[in-house]
Structure 1
Amino acid sequence: MDFSNLDLIVFLIYVIGTVGFGVSFYFRKQSTSDYITGSGKIPSWVLGMSIFATYVSSISFLALPGASYQSNWNGFVFSLSIPIAAWIAVRFFMPIYRKINSPSAYAYLEQRFGLWARVYASICYLLTQLARMGAIMYLLALPMEAFFGWSIPWIILFTGLAVICYSMLGGIKAVVWTDAIQGVILIIGALGCLITILNQLPGGWLQAQSVALEQGKFSLGSFGLSLSESTFWVILVYGLFINLQNFGVDQSYIQRYLGAKSDKEASKSIWLGSLLYIPVSLLFFMIGTALFVYFQVYDELLPAELGAFESADKVFPYFIVSTLPSGLTGLMVAAIFAAGMSTISTSVNSSATVILEDHFKKYILKNPNERTSLRILYISSFVMGSISIGVGLAFNGVVSALETWWALASIFSGGILGLFLLGLFRPTLTKISALLGVIAGVLHIGLVSWGYLPVHKNLAIVLGTMAIILVGFLFGLIVKEPRDFQENYR
């Protein structure tokens, strides 16, 4: 299907406007601190919108409606764990990061367990971001190729270069301000789509609600205690650990905490970004449910190849290009790109920061001047963005890109959350105990991810984190660190 001229204009205005606005920050006087944290002067509402926009990737934009169309609202349970994770981040994690004298989240691990922990965590983070950016670019390209006939490699290349351009040149300010705009576009587009669906149903929302209730579409899943199924409790616990990892130890989020003017402003940004995701994710689930009712009423409008539930992720994009009025289609495609671009730009900027702080300053030049630091940030942004384009192209042809991304994310995360929690709640733990804990955690993650333990794969991060904490704690009782080390952390 082809864009109308109006759709194309709307889409191009969005892309050109975003890139142009982001690049404009390059022409303002920039220091390393400006590039990484905005010198701690970014408004909390902008940081909050940036956190929200980063959270809503194009994966969420397409997968959440597909999940509720296909089954029910079981996936929404993930969002219910967010307030708990946000409170823990505000109470324990954020104050630590704002106290240590480093823009890297992993400097804390070096202070606690030595350089190995910092290097290990930072490398795991960089690998995770490459897999994440590649998966998002590829999954973003799939619906564009299917319904517009655009080439997948060209879409990946176009998206990657556009994001690299403004995130590399503009730094964190370009990232967070464009994120804030993209977040607004995303919400407006999704609301417009839901309103359009309900307006076209003869009975409107009441009809959608009635049919959905009859067929159990609002169910949050089984409340049974099985660990091998996607029950309410499995998704809730999984969501808690994933959100703790996001808000507690992810460099992408930590830089936003450091960009706030004070601890209070940083807390506001966390609460805004996290709590805003809950109603927006609910909005996406409502879209999927409304589409389910819509195509029951107008079943002749759904192509046969999309009738099978295995194609549920494609139903929403199909509705966008086949049913929405001209102009709104362009806005929705822009919103899908916005969801992807906001996440990728964040990964590019945070990865460059990790390369400068955790590697360049450690191995090559301890105290580089401003010019050298900025040059390394520019180069690192370009290199990470370029490699991620290659990763996105490598995803082309895999059986399930989403499952491949989940597997890579579980492996590359390497139980970093468990290591942080050990440092946070066990201040006298020895370095060898922490290392043994990480080995145990990575082993458990691998066993679950590859199906050697009879539990749901979502529990990989849960069991891995718990293994790190338990093994590290138990060995900490046996192996004691010298007294001077213990006194430093009392």
Structure 2
Amino acid sequence: MKGLPVIDLAIIFIYLIGMILVGFYFSRKNKNSEQFTKASGLIPGWAIGLSIYATFLSSNTFLGVPGKAFGSNWNAFVFSISMPLAAWVASKYFVPFYRNTGEISAYTHLEKRFGAWARVYAVICFLLTQLARMGSIFFGIALSLQALTGYSMQMIMVVMGVCIIIYTVLGGIEAVIWTEVVQAVVKTLGALLILYLIVTNMPGGVSKIVEIGKSADKFSLGSFKLDFVGSSFWVVLLYGFFINLNNFGMDQNYIQRYHTASSSKAASRSIWLCVWLYIPASLLFFIIGSCLYAYYDVHPELVASIKHQVAAERLPLGATEAEVLKMQNALQPADYGDKIMPHFMVTKIPIGLVGLIVSAILSAAMSTISSGMNASATVFSVDIYKRYIKPDVTDKQNLSLLHIATIGFGLLGMVAGIAMIGVKSILDLWWELSGIFAAGMLGLFLLGIVSRQTKNHEAIIATIIGIVVIIWMTFSSLLPPEYEAFRNPLHKNMIIVVGTLTIFLTGIFITKVKNRKVETAN
């Protein structure tokens, strides 16, 4: 990292070594698979809450949210506003349900309810979601560190990935949770420090920021019209509710934490702690984005270098300077929003503090990636290996399998991150992919819990119809112009809403029709 002063390098190095040492510390307890996946159910609720909060507050939030606020407004903050309702449903129904089943996997009950196909389908959706999440986070952190170090994004992902793999494999879920507790504090303090530095470097201070933000409509939550084509308030609210319902109800990252708590009450409290921490924290990052917009609005000369870099990256190798300048002039704030935070860090944060900020961004990335690796390994072990490959696996063999699977999913996450290099918006990419993959399994899960009369055949038909709808909504935009009438007219964030409701309502409808025919026949 030759681009950084020695003191900043030292801070980052100490932080990374500290995370690895945490893994070594908890490796002493990690002698069986239950300890690796459940931590023997002895983690206090407040620590689980901070852990879930740290998972939510990933580098997608740390870098993507300020970039989104810089490029548009606070419309995406409506996602956070939707969290309390999803948390209420989860704490009232999902936590007791999972605690009562005693199953470490979130998907075991789907097989009992509908058959093996339902479990396999949910597992595939979950693993694809995790790869998308880990890939977007690897990409986000590499984007930031490249600006600071000059090293390639691929090299940054590999170095960071190796560190995460080491402490996650050694320490299991207990190391993941306790490192996330530390990371929750580090990343929050890092965000506050960035905000302070922006405000103190801003001519005119807070009043000027508010003035510029108001004139540019930077504080808007989006249109309140019942518009589901654009990114209105209602589109993001619905998206947020359904995706958070999926997070709290179907995501192994969170379900696994419910089992680490000492009681259902402690697990429910952890959800609410996460919500009440995340809402103001996410607002903080939107404020940072608006402050950055105001700062660069009064320093337009600084934006030119950012736009030039983005234009050069988007054009093929060998493009002339005239072509670069033409694209540079056509770029809008939304096109380079993700570059703004790294640029400010490079140019305005004092020596010594850069190391602290980078550690905060690293913690934001590491917490979510380590959770995804542990959860993916657990699902692979329980739902695939023990179910279909070797049902009589010993605990020692299972622990070795968990270690290997954790390494494997960490490497796949790195590959996914490298494949995402060059995307326009981290947050947009993650929202779109998570909505596509989560829609099917959430609809099936709700159908299984709410409609007790729905059987295997009705669920299969409903799921197939739901998948067709999800595929159409996702890819119909690629249809040629003459088939424009067959394109999805709704915003892409509506995929999870429509997909979930299609499976759920179709399953209930088919069940009622079948039951009515049976009653008529009798």
TM-score, with normalisation over the residues of structure 1?
Answer: 0.94
Q: Which amino acid letter does the alignment assign opposite residue 285 of structure 1?
A: F
Query: Aligned-pair distance for 1:382?
Result: 1.4
What corresponds to 2:73 in structure 1?
72
What corresponds to 1:486 in structure 2?
none
What corresponds to 2:318 in structure 1?
none
Contact 2:66–2:338 (8 Å) recurs in 1: yes
- The 1:85–1:400 alpha-carbon spacing in structure 2 relative to 1, beyond 3 Å, is closer
Q: Which amino acid letter does the alignment assign opposite residue 210 of structure 2?
A: Q
Aligned residues: 482
Comparing 146-155 with 67-76, greater Cα deviation is found at 146-155
Counterpart selection for 2:417 from 392, 413, 416: 392
Q: Map Cα deviations across residues 426-476 of structure 1 (whole Å, 9 max, x no partner).
A: 111111111111112111211222233100000000000010011101111
Q: Distance in 1 between matches of 2:188 and 2:428?
A: 27
Work out whether 1:352 is the aligned partner of 2:377.
yes
- The 1:394–1:73 alpha-carbon spacing in structure 2 relative to 1, beyond 3 Å, is closer
Query: Aligned-pair distance for 1:211?
Result: 2.7
- The 1:480–1:356 alpha-carbon spacing in structure 2 relative to 1, beyond 3 Å, is farther
Work out whether 1:155 is the aligned partner of 2:180.
no
Query: Aligned-pair distance for 1:144?
Result: 2.0
Work out whether 1:53 is the aligned partner of 2:46.
no
Comparing 411-420 with 95-104, greater Cα deviation is found at 411-420
Comparing 71-80 with 197-206, greater Cα deviation is found at 197-206
- The 1:318–1:398 alpha-carbon spacing in structure 2 relative to 1, beyond 3 Å, is closer
In structure 2, stretches of 5+ residues that fail to align are: 308-330, 478-486
Q: Which amino acid letter does the alignment assign opposite residue 319 of structure 1?
A: F
Comparing 29-38 with 176-185, greater Cα deviation is found at 29-38
Q: Distance in 2 between matches of 1:341 and 1:370?
A: 28
Q: Cα RMSD over matched residues?
A: 2.0
Counterpart selection for 2:514 from 457, 466, 479: 479
Query: Aligned-pair distance for 1:101?
Result: 2.8
Query: Aligned-pair distance for 1:400?
Result: 6.7
Q: Distance in 2 between matches of 1:357 and 1:304?
A: 50
What corresponds to 1:18 in structure 2?
19
Counterpart selection for 2:434 from 409, 414, 417: 409
Q: Distance in 2 between matches of 1:29 and 1:68?
A: 42
Query: Aligned-pair distance for 1:207?
Result: 2.7
Q: Distance in 2 between matches of 1:197 and 1:399?
A: 24
Q: Map Cα deviations across residues 43-76 of structure 1 (whole Å, 9 max, x no partner).
A: 1111111101111221221111111112211111
Q: Distance in 1 between matches of 2:194 and 2:423?
A: 30
What corresponds to 1:420 in structure 2?
445
Q: Distance in 1 between matches of 2:220 and 2:292?
A: 16
- The 1:402–1:194 alpha-carbon spacing in structure 2 relative to 1, beyond 3 Å, is closer
Q: Distance in 1 between matches of 2:235 and 2:332?
A: 27
Q: Which amino acid letter does the alignment assign opposite residue 454 of structure 2?
A: L
Query: Aligned-pair distance for 1:177?
Result: 0.6
Work out whether 1:267 is the aligned partner of 2:287.
no
- The 1:405–1:299 alpha-carbon spacing in structure 2 relative to 1, beyond 3 Å, is closer
Q: Map Cα deviations across residues 346-397 of structure 1 (whole Å, 9 max, x no partner).
A: 0110011111111122113324332122111111111211222223233345
Q: Map Cα deviations across residues 170-223 of structure 1 (whole Å, 9 max, x no partner).
A: 100010111111111100000011011112234322332233223321111111
Counterpart selection for 2:456 from 431, 440, 448: 431
Query: Aligned-pair distance for 1:405?
Result: 4.7
What corresponds to 2:229 in structure 1?
228
Counterpart selection for 2:367 from 325, 342, 349: 342
Q: Which amino acid letter does the alignment assign opposite residue 357 of structure 2?
A: M
1:15-414 alignment runs, 5 A limit:
15-306=16-307, 308-309=332-333, 310-396=335-421, 405-413=430-438
Q: Map Cα deviations across residues 245-282 of structure 1 (whole Å, 9 max, x no partner).
A: 11111011000111100011001111111221110100
1:339 alignment partner, SS class: helix
Q: Distance in 1 between matches of 2:377 and 2:474?
A: 29
Contact 1:32–1:370 (8 Å) recurs in 2: yes
Query: Aligned-pair distance for 1:403?
Result: 5.4
Q: Which amino acid letter does the alignment assign opposite residue 474 of structure 1?
A: F
What corresponds to 2:496 in structure 1?
461
1:415 alignment partner, SS class: helix
Q: Distance in 1 between matches of 2:54 and 2:413?
A: 20
Contact 1:77–1:235 (8 Å) recurs in 2: yes
2:220 alignment partner, SS class: coil
Q: Distance in 2 between matches of 1:324 and 1:315?
A: 13
Contact 1:141–1:156 (8 Å) recurs in 2: yes
In structure 1, stretches of 5+ residues that fail to align are: 484-490
TM-score, with normalisation over the residues of structure 2?
Answer: 0.88
2:25 alignment partner, SS class: helix
What corresponds to 1:487 in structure 2?
none
- The 1:393–1:201 alpha-carbon spacing in structure 2 relative to 1, beyond 3 Å, is closer
Contact 1:430–1:480 (8 Å) recurs in 2: no
Q: Distance in 1 between matches of 2:191 and 2:429?
A: 27
